[in-house]
Structure formats: C-alpha cells, structure tokens
Structure 1
Amino acid sequence: MSPKTQARHSQKSGASVAQPAQTEATRLAYVLMIASTVRLTAFVLFPGLVSTYLSGRVELSTPVTSYKRLMEGLHLSAHAVSPYDGGVFHQSPLLLLLFKPLYYLPSIFTDLLYTAADVLVALMLAKLAALKAKSALHLSVPGETRFVCMPSVVAMLYLFNPLTLGTTLVKSTIVFSHLAVVGSLYFGLQGRTNRAIVCAAVATHLSLYPAMLIVPISLMAHNRQQRFGSIMATVVKFIVAVGLLHVLFVTVFGSEYFGATIDFTVRVADLQPNVGLFWYFFTEVFDEFRLFFFVVFQLTALGFAVPVSWRFRQDPLFAATFLVGIISALKSYPAWGDLALFLGLLPIFEELLKYLQFIFLSANLLFYGVALAPVFWYLWIEQGSGNANFFYAATLVYVFGQITLLFDLGTAKLRRDLDIQRPEMRTRTVIQE
C-alpha cells in the first residue's frame, strides 16, 4: 500500500470514529434540551398542580429538603432574624447563600436554577459513563459480547425518571445534594482529587450521609505506590474542608446552625412521616431506649462505608454507587429523589445487567412501594379509614425493594469479577459455605 493510500485510509478511519462521537454528542444535547423544556413547561403551565398537590407529598419532600421551609428560612434571614431560631428551617446555610439573591427575583429564576441543576447532574452522569468506558474499570469477560449504554441514554434514564421529575417539580433541595455527590464522583474518577473533596464536603453539609463517599473517592485518588498514605491524605483534606465550612457557617449564622441541621438529622428530631424506616419506629419506642436505637440505626447506615469500599476497592465507582443505594434505603429522612439518583447511576454498570437474578422481584417491590404510598397516605390522612400502619407497610415494601436490589447488585459484581479472574468458572455455580 502506497503512502498516499495509507494516508487516505487513516483519514477515512479517523472520520468514521469522529462521526459517531459527534452523533452521540448531538443526541445528548437533544436529551438535555427536551428535558429542560419539559421541566420549564411544567413549572410555567401547571403551577397549581405543583404548589397544591406535589409540594405537600411527604414522599418527595422532607423536613430537611422542603422548599417551603427554605422559603421560611429566607424570609427570617431577610428580616434580620436568625433562620434557625424558629425551629422550622433545618437545611444547610449553603442553601441560604445560594437562594438569597433569588429571593427577591421572579420565580422563573428559581425554576431555571432547578432545571440547570438537574441538567448538570445528568450531564455528569453521562460523562461518568464515558469515562468508565475508557478506563481500566471497564474490563470484559473473555468471549463476552458487550452491550454499552451510551451517555445520552444514561442522561435520558435519569432526566425522564418520574421520581427525578417529581423531585425537581416540588423544588426539593436534595437536587443540589445530588449535584454535589455526582460532581465528587466525576472529579474523583478524573483524578481531580481536590475538586472531588470540595464537592464531597459540600454534599456532606447539604445532606450529611454523603460523607461516606470520601472512602471510595480516596481509593480513586490513591497512588498505588503509597496507597495508605495517599488515602489518609485525602481523608484529612476532606476533614479540613468540612471543618472550614463549619467555621464559616458559625461565623455567619452562629453555632445554633449545627443543632438545627446536622444534629437535627442525626437525632431525627422531626418524626414527620416519610419513605424511610426511622419515623414510625421512633414514634413507638420508649423514651429511655431512644438514644440507644438512634446510635444503632445511624451506625447501620454509616458503618457500611469502609467495608463496602474496601471489598470493591478495585472499582471505587461501583463502591460509591453501592453506598448511594445504602444511603437511599437507610438514611433518616429519605425521599424518592434518593432512589432516583441511585437508579440514575445504575446504567453506568450495564455489564452487570445479565448477572442480576432478582431484577423482576426488586423492580416489582419498588413499583408497588411507590404506587401504594400515595394510596395509603390518602386512606390514612384524608379519608381516615386507615392508620399509620398502612403507610408504613408501603414504606417497608419500598425499602425492602431497595435492599433486594442492593444484594442482587453486589452479588452480580462479585460473580462478574470471578468470571474475569477465572474464566473457566463461568459455567459453574458458586456455593459459599
């Protein structure tokens, strides 16, 4: 083959590679534009539906993510009163600083902010999928036919999930926690450790439980020659970042902010019903045992950070995704938005789909939990023909569905890792005694 022919051949191959990349970027842009249009249209054309029905749903909004409570805090702050004095506002001062300029502007600017936050989360999820496909984490089983979930599909599955859409329409502040969480994972996988640490610190102040993610983020950033030292350095930087934010907030808002936010979340001081396990249990428990069970319940969630991260240390992104699922199921004030983020991360690991054994069971449990919660709430609160047990039963089904999915996902990951390391074991059933 002559040099000219080789040059033409290389130009054609390069153009053929660039064309699919451009097509995928166009698809992603279309997905983001359509999702933004849908959200803004719903905000503008159906304000009554959002304000009178969706905003009051306890499945979508909690005492620590409620937009109404955020407005109360902004109102107090605008009148030179500490927003944490009234016992209503229990959200991070970061949200006060973010929304304070918008408080005096028309509501369309707030709608644009929530839409932009959702779009940024979806965009970073898409980029996470692309980064994983190019990294060493994207290993294949010998002889395997791979199905790759395109970045545009990952973004679409997140943005058009009804749970995501509902969370955005009620203007739950958990959207910004999701943005910080996904940002920490994105920068961590890129190797931009300092940016990942800042995002993780912001997510911790917004929602507390994302502090667990610093362990897999540290594993993403470690130097293989100095693993322990690099991990400890990352953790120390994270503690310093969280501490600096705490000092800043104490300086601006006073020390009472801590009791009204982080301490409030840990103690579960407001037992308003939600889709979690805490509220009903602590309504019934005797006061003398309350502290003991607070410790047990919180450690059940936080205690998974190190063992899960270490077991899946070869794939820190999967470890972080698994922890996001644990947070969704076991945090003190969960909402459907937590599940939306977990489900949004799952398409990145499309190679595990064929390894899932109980996907039909977990999907049905989640569907029934989501579908029954509004029905039982209506029977309990509005009709008076039911009681709290009705709604809590739907909550148990919902949480059990998440836990089933987590167990299935962890088993699928372990089985796939075994197939990669020991291809001869692919056709054998593994029994652990």
Structure 2
Amino acid sequence: MLSSNSHIFSRLFRSESLYFVLAFALRAFLSFVGLGDRLENRVEIATPFNSWKRVKEGVALKNAGISPYEGDTVHCNPILLLFFETLTRRGIVITQVVFFMADLLAAHFLAKAVVAFHREELAKEKEAKSSYAKDVEPLLLEGSDSRRIGRIVLITYLFNPLAVLSSVAMTLTTFGNFNIILALFLSISGSKKLCFVVLAFATVTDVYPAVFIVPMLVSMYTEGMLAVALSGLTYIFSTIAFIYFSYIAASDWSFLSNTFGSLFMLSDLTPNIGLFWYYFAETFEHYRLFFLCIFHLSFLTYALPISFCLRDDRFTACFFMLFVIALFKSYPSVCDAAVYSSLLPAFSHLFYYVRYGLPVTCTIVTCSVLSSIMWHLWIEQGSANANFFFAVTLAYAVAQIFLMTGLFYAYVRRRFHLKHGMKMLIDGEEAIPILD
C-alpha cells in the first residue's frame, strides 16, 4: 500500500501539465476575488513603467485621438501599447488570460533552459574531470539531476509569489520576464541569432536587458571575432528595427522622451522599492545630471567584470546580471526578483558554500512585511515620513547584495576546490581559502 501511494505521488510530481493547470487556476482565482485591483496600487509591485493602470490610460488617450506621450503619464513602448490596445478590445478576461499564459510559457522556457544548462555543465565537468582533485566527488554534478532540477525550477516559478503577483496585477514585468527568459533559453539551446533578436526587443521595451549582450558576446570568444561581430550586428540592427517599428506604431518620435528619456532622466519620482527616487528627491537640481550619470554608470560597471570572470559560463553570468538589474533599475519592483529567485534551485550545487543564507532570507521576509506597514504609516496615517519607507527598501537592497555576493563567493570557492581538493593542509592544519 505504501509503495503504491509513493508511486502515485511520484507520478503526480512528474506531471508537468498538472502544475500548469494549478498555476493557472491560482492566478485566475486571485484575479476573480479582486486581488489584481488592489495590487495595481501597491508601489512594491506597480511602478510608472510597468503599471497596468497607466497602460489603460495610454490606450484610452489613444482611442480619444490624443497622443499618450504628450504628458508624463504613459511610459509604455508604442509596440506594446498597440498590442494592449488590440487586446483590451477582446475584454478584460482575455487580457488576463494572455498575462497568465505569458507567465506559464516563461516557466516552461525557464525549466527547459535550466535542463540545458545542467547538461552543459555536466559535459564540461566530464571533459575536465582529469584535471580535478581526487576528493571532489561530492562536489560534482549528477547526470540524473537534470530533469529533476528543471522540474523544481518549473514549480518554483509557477508558484513563486513574485511571479504570481506580477501576473495577477497585470504588470508589464510579466512580459519583461518572459522576454528575458526566452532570450536565455535561446542562448543556452544554441539559437543565438534569434536570441539577439529577442534581446533587442527586450531592450527596446525595457532597456535594462541590454546588459545581457555583454556576457553573451564575451562567452563567444572561442568562436572567433567574426561570430562575435555578426552577433553584435544582429543585435544592433534588430534594436534599430524595433525602434523604427515603435515610431510607426506611435506615428512620431515623441515616445522616445517618455520611454528612454524618462527612464534615464528619472522624470517621475513616484516612490518604489529602488534606491533612485529618494536620493533624487533630496538632491540639489544643479547636481542632478552628475548623479544621474553616476547611478547609471554604476549599473554598467558590473557587466564587464562578471562577464569576463564567467566567460566560460554565460548562463551563470546572466544569472548574476539578473541581480544587478533588480538592484540598479531606475524603477524596480519586487517582481524583478521573480526570475533569479526561481533560478536558485538550479544552483543548489553552490549552497554548500553559501554564506549568510539565514540572515538574508529573514531580512527579505521582514522587508516584505515592513514595506506595507511603513507605507501605510507614511502615506495613509501621516505618522511617519519617507525615511521609514526608504530604510526598508535600503535593507531589501542590501539583502539582495549579500545574496548575490554569497552565491558568487560560493561559485568561485567551488571552482577552487574542484582543482585543489576539498581539504588543504598548512603545517598539518586545515586551511580556509579567503577571497581577496
């Protein structure tokens, strides 16, 4: 009887279609009870650049014959705005279904990408095994884990609260995450030209995915400069083409100032969980341009070091770039963490060396609770001020930094132990490697 029950549970665990049905039902139920309307107004989830409410306003202005880019309300790309204009004519239910399906497809491609990544890592370890130390068997990946880890990542994304909230609130982050995941899948599966086309579209609609071009091009150094140049040109020409299509959809170039311009110049200082809004609300106007350059350059400075350090492992490099995007976006939301948090099981082989796991987890959970409380005290009751809310967002950013650096340290230390062995002795005592 026990073996029969365990066999049933094993089959249920392997039934991916069941997870898709449950994930869709969960999103549909939360939307049905009206949670989406409440989430639309949460600053942790909706920002000026991903808010569905602003998209609806843009569609209404367009239908009224007014350019949605005349004011400073609509920041949605014209291609997406045209898509949503067509979609909303079919009714709110169809629109919600499209958001849910985009999220489910993202989970599917993410799981496939993880399986391909795991098999690629297995092949690398098999090829380099002769150069590894003798006592590193516990550190090596297992071939039977590929599909299991892919399934765990699938479940993690489908039921990740951040992904669920994003799709229920109908934020544009749902489609942004889908574009990023599709680009990662195409890259790891070998469809590189199509990957750069998808990446170009993601860049035109969100800008920040452009940073993935660095690790992807750097990882192609073994294929020769011609392959790198052709891929780079594919990305550049695709980006130009999508910008031109945006011009056709908008009928003029006014969208540039409300999309790229507002993103870089930070024209809307609506509070969010990021670091930009508070600083630029306090800074003097004549220093504004200088600090804008500093903040945006700080985002770019991480791309090259991470890409060159992980030039033989583009998927891992892109994984760390997801952290950088979530940290240094002008208008971030908690939904930006949905992809990298769902990918954590794919890097379970690093958990042995990860530091500060418990404090980081507790900090993120605490910030998730306190952000709503501090916002209520500040905006609704007036018994607090912006410092209270910003302190929570700052703690959340620090927790993400510690999580990223902890995983990066674990990656480097595991690579070190694979070559030099798990136990190193100095004067008869076990040595502990220190990362300088």
Structure 1 length normalisation: TM-score?
Answer: 0.90
Q: Tell me the residue number matched to 2:381.
A: 383
Residues 153/138 of structure 1: CA separation in 2 closer, same or farther (3 Å cut) = farther
Task: Tell me how far 1:134 sits from its aligned partner.
Answer: 1.4
Q: 2:182 and 2:213 mapped to 1: Cα distance?
A: 12
Deviation string for 1:170-189 (max 9, x for gaps)? 11111101000011110001
2:287 corresponds to 1:289: yes
Match of 1:3 in 2: none
Give the equivalent residue in structure 1 for 2:403. Answer: 405
More relative contact order, 1 or 2 (CA 8 Å, 6+ apart): 2
Q: How far apart, in 1, do the equivalents of 2:211 and 2:204 lie?
A: 12
Query: Matches of 1:318 and 1:168 in 2, distance apart?
Result: 26
Cα distance, 1:432–1:402 mapped onto 2, change above 3 Å: closer
Which residue number corresponds to residue 236 of structure 2? Answer: 239
1:165 has 2:164 as partner: yes
Structure 1, 60-69 or 361-370: larger mean CA deviation: 361-370
What corresponds to 1:186 in structure 2?
185
Q: How many residue pairs were aligned?
A: 409
- State the AA in 1 paired with 2:19: V
Q: Answer yes or no: is 1:93 the counterpart of 2:88.
A: no
Contact residue 204 and residue 211 of structure 1 kept, 8 A = yes
Equivalent residue in structure 2 for 1:369, among 367, 372, 385 = 367
Rounded to whole Å, the distance in 2 between the matches of 1:304 and 1:69 is 32
1:31/1:152 contact within 8 Å kept: no
Q: Deviation digits for residues 342-385 of structure 1, max 9, x if unmatched? A: 20122221211111011112111211221110000000011111
**Mean CA deviation greater in 186-195 or 135-144:** 135-144
Within the alignment, does 1:198 sit opposite 2:197 as a pair?
A: yes
Question: Which residue in the other structure is 1:50 paired with?
Answer: 36
Q: Check if 1:69 corresponds to 2:54.
A: yes
Say if 2:311 is the partner of 1:313.
yes
Deviation of 1:138 after TM superposition, in Å, equals 6.4
1:200 maps to amino acid: L
Offset from partner CA, 1:34-63 (integer Å, 9 cap, x none): 10111112222x12x321x21100000000
Shift of residue 129, structure 1, vs aligned partner: 1.6
**Pairs within 5 Å for 1:233-312:** 233-253=230-250, 254-312=252-310
Counterpart Cα distance in 2 of 1:225 and 1:266: 34
- The match for 1:16 is none
What's the offset of the Cα at 1:28? 2.0
Q: Answer with 69-78 or 55-64: which moved more.
A: 69-78
Matched ranges for 1:5-154 at <5 A = 26-44=14-32, 46-47=33-34, 49-51=35-37, 53-136=38-121, 142-144=136-138, 146=141, 148=145, 150-154=149-153
User: Cα–Cα, structure 1 residues 428 and 31, in superposed 2: closer, same or farther, change >3 Å?
Assistant: farther
Deviation at 1:236, TM superposition (A): 2.1
In the alignment, residue 15 of structure 2 is paired with which amino acid? R
TM-superposed deviation, 1:136: 3.5
What per-residue deviation string (whole Å, max 9, x for no partner) do you get for residues 129-158 of structure 1? 211221146655731165745222111111
Q: Is the 8 A contact 1:215 1:235 kept in 2?
A: no
Matched residues in 2 for 1:33 and 1:409: separation?
A: 33
Question: Which deviates further from its counterpart, 408-417 or 298-307?
Answer: 298-307
Task: Give ranges in structure 1 of 5+ residues lacking alignment.
Answer: 1-18
Partner of 1:135: helix, strand, or coil?
A: helix
CA distance in 2, matches of 1:27, 1:353: 27
Amino acid at match of 1:58: V
Q: Which residue of 2 aligns with 1:430?
A: 433
- Alpha-carbon contact 2:215-2:317 (below 8 Å) kept: yes
Aligned amino acid, residue 43 of structure 2: V
Contact 2:51 2:171 in 1 (8 A): yes
Residues 44, 334 of structure 2: 8 Å contact kept: yes
1:177 equivalent in structure 2: 176
Q: 1:105 to 1:294 in 2, by over 3 A?
A: same
User: Deviation at 1:340?
Assistant: 1.5
Instruction: Please name the residue that 2:427 is paired with.
Output: none
Q: Deviations over 1:84-126 (max 9, x none)?
A: 1132100112211321221212211011011101101111111
Q: Once superposed, what is the RMSD of the aligned Cα atoms?
A: 2.1
* 2:128 match: none
Q: Could you say if the C-alpha distance between residues 111 and 424 of structure 1 is closer, same or farther in structure 2, counting changes exceeding 3 Å?
A: closer
Render the CA deviation track for 1:314-338: whole Å, top value 9, x for unaligned.
1110000100111101111000001
Aligned counterparts of 1:432 and 1:152: Cα–Cα separation in 2: 33
State the one-letter code of the partner of 1:50. G
**Following TM superposition, by how much is the alpha carbon of 1:425 offset from its aligned partner in structure 2, in angstroms?**
5.5
Percent sequence identity is: 30
Q: Which runs of 4+ in 1 moved over 6 A?
A: none
Rounded to whole Å, the distance in 2 between the matches of 1:232 and 1:369 is 44
Q: Is the 8 A contact 1:321 1:346 kept in 2?
A: no
